[in-house]
């Protein structure tokens, strides 16, 4: 513990000096670091350059770029937390560029050879040593097979796992320190934020997991070409190497090329937002890094996505809550929007439903009282997060990626088709999805599934009941010749059958009652 504290405090000094050099030293004041400690930590840092940006968010972005991959990724993660860092800083951190100097082609060849147990020239007919993209965790090379197939090969940076492990330990140390020294910070769950970041980066450190994510996403869109995923080449994929088909298409950010090629930008925007909604609500598994660099457009205005290192999952109950909340806002039922938050447990029970409904109205009316093309789902989510402190709402980590991705997707769609009514597109999807999943038949089906799950546990319950009955049998509670228990059965079998029948009848009764209630 002492060694860890010394190591991380030493790291904190390096970071404090870097922040100071970029003009972001004020963040140490905001964190409550005492002035004498700040003075010690920033000795020799010097002052910020004359051309340093005047916004703290931009200063933090510049410092993160200097501090390296972990801090770039963590800064991007904090961009989803305007409730923690503020709206302006969150917006600036969202623009952090995840681009680093590439490592050599020779190093990439060495890693591929070690991972696949074959020389690169045996694996590929042609391998381009010059990477086409280099980010904080990995870089991508193009390759070809002897049959002419074109591939994209993603390779992890050497030593990246150890570097991230060291920095994440520092982030966790700092979060734990904040929670212990500043109790009000516990509401923002800094330790939970770091843990979420740790889990997401752990997935990115094993490219087999990314390959599995791509495969699952492709399976969810089987038969639907509007959102496409490159096929994984599993025979050339390992923990530090991922090989997929090389995709074609035009980068979605290149609107000039899209227009010149005759692409329908409004249709592209529609396919993108519907693709995201299908992932989030229909499947509960969504690409959570849908920025423009990861999106391409094919000849039929369909979306092609790459880079599946950051994915989000929402369980069915969360999806239902979010969908019902959005629908309540859509129809202007702010009381119901508030009730959904309470039912989901997002707002403590000691808060006022009426007051929260009033707050929902206050943030929604300015958003919806605009021309249809300007109505923003993403802005609604951001505004909802902005009122968390007033109602003592705890952070919902499972919704952070959803909010972040929705902001990015909507921003991209706005750039493609500024006049498109994105809310109408979303409403069209919700109008179909919500009744199917919140209507009486859907609830009945869910109830049947829950009871069926309970029924599957019946054998275990029977065994426990038998043990309990046997414990009572010596006391004479299960005489062989009493009641409806046939004399041919001994105490052990009589107890077992009585217990089994009672549980079975109970399950059947619950099933019938639940189905009747849901249907009528």
Unique residue bearing structure tokens 């590439």: 102
Least confident of 95-104, 169-178, 247-256, 483-492: 483-492
Task: Tell me the range of 260-269, 333-342, 471-480 where mean pLDDT is highest.
Answer: 260-269
> Which of 289, 333, 354, 369 does the annotation list as catalytic?
289
Q: How high is the pLDDT of residue 387?
A: 76
**Token pair recorded at residue 493:** 């079998």
Which regions of 365-497 does DSSP assign to beta strands (E)? none
Look at residues 490, 492, 466 and name the one whose alpha carbon lies nearest to residue 480: 490
Task: Tell me the range of 275-284, 317-326, 508-517 where mean pLDDT is highest.
Answer: 275-284
Question: Does residue 45 belong to any structural domain of this protein?
Answer: yes
Question: Does residue 6 belong to any structural domain of this protein?
Answer: yes
Same domain, 352 and 222: no
> What are φ and ψ of residue 241, in 5° steps?
-140, 130
Q: Are strands 241-245 and 150-156 parallel, antiparallel or unpaired?
A: antiparallel
Same domain, 415 and 267: yes
Question: Does residue 174 belong to any structural domain of this protein?
Answer: no
Residue 254 annotated as catalytic: no
Question: Does residue 182 belong to any structural domain of this protein?
Answer: no
Q: Are strands 295-297 and 303-305 parallel, antiparallel or unpaired?
A: antiparallel
Q: How many structural domains compose the chain?
A: 4
Same domain, 378 and 483: no
What pairs with residue 141 in β-bridges?
153
Same domain, 431 and 489: no
DSSP string covering 301-333: S-EEE---SSEEE--HHHHHHHHHHHHHHHTT-
Which range of residues forms the domain containing residue 126?
Answer: 101-134+137-163+192-246
Question: Does residue 185 belong to any structural domain of this protein?
Answer: no
In the predicted structure, residue 326 carries a pLDDT above the cut 50: yes
Same domain, 111 and 81: no
In whole angstroms, give the CA distance from residue 400 to residue 307.
19
As a whole number, mean pLDDT of residues 364-388 equals 78
Same domain, 322 and 197: no
**Pair 93, 84: CB distance under 8 Å:** no
DSSP string covering 113-160: HHHHTS-HHHH-SEE-SS-SEE-SSEEEEEEE-TT--EEEEEEEPTTH
In whole angstroms, give the CA distance from residue 378 to residue 157.
34
Q: Convert 128-147 to b/e letters by CB count within 10 Å (16 or more is b).
A: eeebebebbbbbbbbbeeee
**Token pair recorded at residue 36:** 């004498």
Using only C-alpha atoms, what is the Rg of the chain? 28
Same domain, 143 and 226: yes
Which of 204, 222, 246 is the last residue before a domain boundary?
246
Q: How high is the pLDDT of residue 489?
A: 47
Least confident of 70-79, 215-224, 317-326: 70-79
**Token pair recorded at residue 271:** 């396919």
Q: How high is the pLDDT of residue 196?
A: 79
In whole angstroms, give the CA distance from residue 148 to residue 125.
9
Look at residues 456, 486, 423 and name the one whose alpha carbon lies nearest to residue 270: 423
Which of 411, 438, 465 is the last residue before a domain boundary?
438
pLDDT tens digits, residue range 39-72? 777 776 766 766 677 788 888 888 888 888 888 8
Distance of CA 149 to the CA centre of its chain: 33
CA max distance for the chain? 98
Q: Are strands 138-144 and 133-134 parallel, antiparallel or unpaired?
A: antiparallel
For 363, the enclosing helix (H) or strand (E) is helix 353-368
From the number of C-beta atoms within 10 Å of its C-beta (0-12, 13-18, 19+), residue 121 rates as exposed
Ramachandran category for residue 332: left, alpha or beta (phi over 0 → left; psi -120 to 50 → alpha): left
Task: Write the CA distances from 278 to 64, 265, 401, integer angstroms.
Answer: 34, 20, 15
Task: Write the CA distances from 424 to 30, 372, 373, integer angstroms.
Answer: 42, 8, 9
Same domain, 342 and 423: yes
In whole angstroms, give the CA distance from residue 48 to residue 50.
7
Least confident of 103-107, 186-190, 432-436: 186-190
DSSP string covering 40-90: HHTTT--PPPTT--SSHHHHHHHHHHHH-HHHHHHHHHHTT-HHHH-HHHH
What's the chain's average pLDDT?
A: 82
Same domain, 17 and 50: yes
pLDDT tens digits, residue range 71-112? 888 888 777 666 667 777 877 887 776 677 899 999 999 999
Helices (H), 144-283: 160-181, 190-204, 207-220, 255-260, 265-277
Same domain, 233 and 119: yes
pLDDT tens digits, residue range 271-280? 999 999 999 9
CATH label of the domain that carries residue 110 = 3.30.200.20
Determine the Cα angle at 129 with ends 123 and 133, to 5°: 110
From the number of C-beta atoms within 10 Å of its C-beta (0-12, 13-18, 19+), residue 154 rates as buried
Which of 406, 438, 470 is the last residue before a domain boundary?
438
Same domain, 334 and 372: yes
**Token pair recorded at residue 45:** 């840092």
In the predicted structure, residue 293 carries a pLDDT above the cut 80: yes
Question: Does residue 417 belong to any structural domain of this protein?
Answer: yes
Q: How high is the pLDDT of residue 486?
A: 47
Same domain, 216 and 282: no
Question: Does residue 180 belong to any structural domain of this protein?
Answer: no
- If one compares 253 and 53, the residue with the highest pLDDT of the two is 253
Distance of CA 291 to the CA centre of its chain: 14
Question: Does residue 173 belong to any structural domain of this protein?
Answer: no
**Pair 185, 178: CB distance under 8 Å:** yes
Look at residues 467, 465, 458 and name the one whose alpha carbon lies nearest to residue 508: 458
């Amino acid at each position: 513990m002492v060694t860890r504290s010394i190591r991380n405090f030493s790291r904190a000094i390096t970071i404090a000096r870097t922040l100071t050099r970029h003009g972001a030293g004020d963040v140490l004041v905001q964190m409550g670091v005492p002035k004498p400690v700040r003075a010690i930590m920033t000795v020799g840092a010097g002052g910020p350059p004359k051309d340093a940006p005047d916004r703290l968010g931009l200063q933090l972005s510049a410092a993160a770029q200097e501090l390296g991959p972990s801090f770039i990724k963590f800064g991007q993660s904090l961009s989803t937390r305007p409730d923690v860092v503020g709206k302006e800083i969150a917006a600036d951190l969202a623009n952090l560029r995840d681009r680093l100097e590439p490592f050599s082609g020779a190093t990439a060849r060495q890693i591929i050879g070690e991972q696949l147990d074959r020389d690169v020239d045996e694996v590929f007919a042609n391998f381009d040593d010059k990477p086409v993209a280099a980010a904080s965790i990995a870089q991508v090379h193009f390759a070809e097979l002897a049959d002419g197939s074109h591939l994209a090969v993603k390779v992890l940076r050497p030593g990246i796992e150890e570097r991230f492990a060291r920095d994440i330990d520092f982030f966790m140390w700092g979060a734990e320190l904040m929670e212990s020294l500043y109790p009000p910070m516990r509401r923002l769950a800094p330790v939970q934020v770091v843990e979420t970041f740790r889990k997401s980066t752990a997935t990115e450190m094993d490219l087999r997991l990314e390959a599995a994510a791509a495969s699952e996403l492709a399976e969810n869109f089987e038969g639907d070409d509007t959102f496409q995923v490159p096929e994984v080449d599993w025979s050339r994929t390992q923990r530090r190497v991922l090989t997929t088909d090389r995709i074609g298409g035009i980068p979605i950010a290149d609107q000039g090329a899209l227009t010149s090629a005759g692409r329908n930008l409004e249709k592209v925007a529609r396919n993108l937002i519907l693709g995201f909604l299908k992932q989030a609500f229909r499947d509960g598994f969504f690409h959570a890094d849908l920025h423009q660099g990861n999106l391409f457009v094919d000849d039929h205005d369909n979306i092609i996505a790459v880079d599946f290192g950051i994915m989000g999952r929402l369980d069915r109950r969360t999806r239902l809550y979010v969908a019902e909340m959005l629908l309540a806002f859509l129809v202007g039922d702010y009381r119901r929007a508030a009730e959904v938050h309470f039912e989901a447990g997002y707002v403590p029970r000691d808060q006022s439903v009426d007051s929260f409904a009033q707050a929902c109205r206050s943030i929604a009316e300015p958003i919806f009282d605009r021309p249809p093309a300007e109505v923003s789902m993403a802005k609604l989510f951001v505004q909802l997060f902005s009122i968390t402190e007033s109602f003592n709402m705890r952070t919902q980590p499972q919704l952070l990626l959803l909010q972040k991705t929705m902001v990015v997707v909507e921003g991209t769609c706005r750039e493609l088709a500024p006049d498109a009514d994105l809310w109408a597109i979303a409403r069209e999807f919700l109008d179909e999805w919500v009744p199917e999943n919140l209507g009486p038949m859907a609830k009945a089906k869910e109830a049947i599934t829950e009871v069926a799950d309970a029924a599957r546990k019946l054998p275990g319950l029977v065994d426990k009941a038998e043990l309990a009955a046997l414990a009572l049998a010596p006391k004479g509670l299960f005489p062989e010749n009493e009641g409806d228990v046939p004399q041919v059965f001994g105490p052990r079998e009589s107890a077992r059958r009585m217990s089994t029948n009672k549980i079975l009848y109970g399950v059947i009764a619950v099933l019938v009652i639940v189905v009747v209630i849901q249907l009528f």
